[in-house]
Amino acid sequence: GAVVSQHPSWVICKSGTSVKIECRSLDFQATTMFWYRQFPKQSLMLMATSNEGSKATYEQGVEKDKFLINHASLTLSTLTVTSAHPEDSSFYICSARDRISGISNTQYFGPGTRLTVL
Amino acid sequence: GNSVTQMEGPVTLSEEAFLTINCTYTATGYPSLFWYVQYPGEGLQLLLKATKADDKGSNKGFEATYRKETTSFHLEKGSVQVSDSAVYFCALIVNTGGFKTIFGAGTRLFVKA
């Protein structure tokens, strides 16, 4: 089956530093990847939609300068949290849609990255 | 607008009990419907899906039927196990200038031995 990986699985950083999270589709090509944020015991909040080779589309209320998204290839998207602060601590989850079966609308989710900002 | 409403949790059951988690939706257009499961500390896994009315999605003993007339997609399992303890998310996808997944709030299930 389709597999999406994320790296790192968890990260602890100091306030003011930047953190990059990678999302990879391991056995399929993904023209579209999604980045979500999940607070404890809550649902997923879509942050942005990332399309290969073009700028990401951010949801309302998400700061594009703070959450930089790059989708440089059909198998890799990155989310960089710039100048991280404790309120950015969260569980970040990416998902990818298979380019070939895009019409089926099935998304494959990564295992998530837990970010803790001290 | 598009939205998904799930029954509030947590749901606590004994092993081998029957499970129902209700899910209803509102959507402009014809959505595809999904159930995802999230085990502690992990990302989401697709559990089952249905893409048209009266379709039944099933996997690992779980099943849900796409009911257009009642706009529902209730998740059921005849006999739960302790290993089914997780958070279950109902979701839909519609094409609103791009295919976005809209999630319900999630329902936490605890199964006691």
Name every chain B residue with its beta carbon within 8 A of the beta carbon of A110.
43
**Cross-chain Cβ contact A49/B106 below 8 Å:** no
Distance CA B29, CA A97 (A): 20
Give the pLDDT of residue A29.
86
pLDDT, chain A, mean: 89
Which residues, 6 or more positions from B78, have their beta carbon under 8 angstroms from its beta carbon? B18, B61
CA-based radius of gyration for chain A: 13
pLDDT, chain B, mean: 92
Give the pLDDT of residue B107.
95
3-state secondary structure of A110: coil
Distance CA A11, CA B85 (A): 26
Residue of A nearest to B51 (CA): A104
The residue-averaged pLDDT of A71-81 equals: 91
**Beta carbons of A50 and A34 less than 8 angstroms apart:** yes
Local structure of residue B97 (DSSP, 8 states): S
What's the pLDDT tens digit per position in A51-71? 888 889 999 999 999 999 998
Give the pLDDT of residue B89.
95
Pick A103 or B104 by higher pLDDT.
Answer: B104
Give the pLDDT of residue B56.
97
Considering only the C-alpha atoms of chain A, give the largest distance between any 2 of them, rounded to a whole number of Å. 42
Name every chain B residue with its beta carbon within 8 A of the beta carbon of A109.
36, 43-46
Give the pLDDT of residue A16.
96
What's the pLDDT tens digit per position in B43-92? 888 999 999 999 999 999 999 999 999 999 999 999 999 999 999 999 99
Beta strands at A4-7 and A113-117: parallel, antiparallel or unpaired: unpaired
Distance CA B8, CA B80 (A): 18
- Cβ burial, residue B52 (10 Å; 0-12/13-18/19+): exposed
CA-based radius of gyration for chain B: 14
**Cross-chain Cβ contact A106/B46 below 8 Å:** yes
At B15, list the tokens: 């092993």
Give the pLDDT of residue A74.
87
